[in-house]
């Protein structure tokens, strides 16, 4: 790919992507799996707000949802129908290596994310029985002792949509640091609740 670029661009080197899909840190180029690794910067740039957006963004993975649950997930044509209760989905959904259990429980906002790893194909050997068609692991940023820093982001849109997120990293010593992250989102619904005088997404 680099050889097809013009002279000045050809001298540039791609940043090495380190993943932990095989339970150890290694370059994504050395992992013998069909894997898509998406950095936290890319997640922010592509405006991926939650796991549903991440599924739609990932090649070979599709999903369908009519509410806050992921009703259908398909990886390479293998489909699971899980409405938040009942059997395990065919794709394993993990956050920092912890199994989420149900599709619906994983529909959380993507904030302060280091990277997301999506593995396509059976992953039972690495992730257990809940990863027949693949696995998705979302890794959050960890505290670091190198520098004081953080970020803040605010998003305002129609229907009084307000979203805010941020994080701060504070090194205490050369071996101790802590990181605090927060997220908040609210917006009016599509339906006018005449009894309460509020906008709602519920019919009742």
Query: For residue 180, what pLDDT is reported?
Result: 95
Residue 30 CA to residue 114 CA, distance in Å, equals 20
What are the structural domain ranges in the chain? 2-140, 149-200
Residue predicted with more confidence, 76 or 141: 141
Residue 34 CA to residue 23 CA, distance in Å, equals 15
pLDDT tens, position by position, 46-57: 988 888 888 888
Locate 78 and state its tokens. 């293998």
Residue 167 has pLDDT above 90, yes or no: yes
Residue 92 sits at the vertex; the CA angle it makes with 16 and 32, to the nearest 5 degrees, is 40
pLDDT tens, position by position, 10-60: 445 556 677 777 777 777 777 778 888 898 889 988 988 888 888 888 888
Q: What is the pTM of this model?
A: 0.72
Residue 137 has pLDDT above 70, yes or no: yes
At 10, give phi and psi (nearest 5°).
-65, -25
Q: How confident is the model at residue 4 (pLDDT cuts 50, 70, 90)?
A: very low
Pairing of strands 134-140, 91-95: parallel
C-beta separation of 179 from 166 below 8 A: no
Residue 162 CA to residue 184 CA, distance in Å, equals 8
Residue 49 CA to residue 128 CA, distance in Å, equals 27
C-alpha Rg value of the chain to the nearest Å: 20
Average pLDDT for the chain: 78
Work out the average pLDDT over 50-74: 76
Query: For residue 95, what pLDDT is reported?
Result: 87
Residue 101 has pLDDT above 80, yes or no: no
Q: Which of 78, 42, 38, 77 is nearest to 58 (CA)?
A: 38
Residue predicted with more confidence, 177 or 198: 177
Query: For residue 112, what pLDDT is reported?
Result: 92
Domain 2-140: CATH class, spelled out: mainly beta
């Amino acid at each position: 790919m680099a050889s097809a670029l013009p002279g000045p661009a050809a001298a540039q080197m791609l940043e090495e992507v380190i993943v932990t899909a095989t339970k150890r840190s290694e370059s994504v180029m050395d992992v013998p799996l069909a894997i898509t690794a998406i950095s936290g910067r890319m997640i922010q740039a592509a405006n991926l707000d939650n796991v549903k957006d991440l599924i739609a963004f990932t090649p070979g993975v599709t999903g369908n949802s009519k509410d806050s649950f992921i009703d259908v997930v398909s990886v390479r044509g293998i489909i699971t129908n899980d409405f938040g209760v009942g059997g395990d989905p065919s794709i394993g959904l993990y956050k920092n290596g912890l199994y989420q259990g149900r599709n619906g429980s994983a529909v959380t906002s993507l904030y302060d994310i280091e990277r997301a790893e999506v593995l396509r194909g059976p992953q039972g050997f690495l992730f257990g029985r809940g990863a027949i068609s693949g696995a998705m692991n979302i890794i959050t940023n960890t505290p670091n002792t190198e520098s004081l820093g953080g970020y803040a982001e605010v998003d305002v849109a129609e229907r009084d949509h307000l979203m805010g997120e941020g994080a701060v990293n504070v090194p205490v010593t050369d071996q101790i640091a802590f990181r605090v992250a927060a997220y908040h989102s609210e917006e009016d619904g599509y339906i006018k609740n005449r009894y309460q005088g509020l906008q709602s997404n519920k019919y009742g």
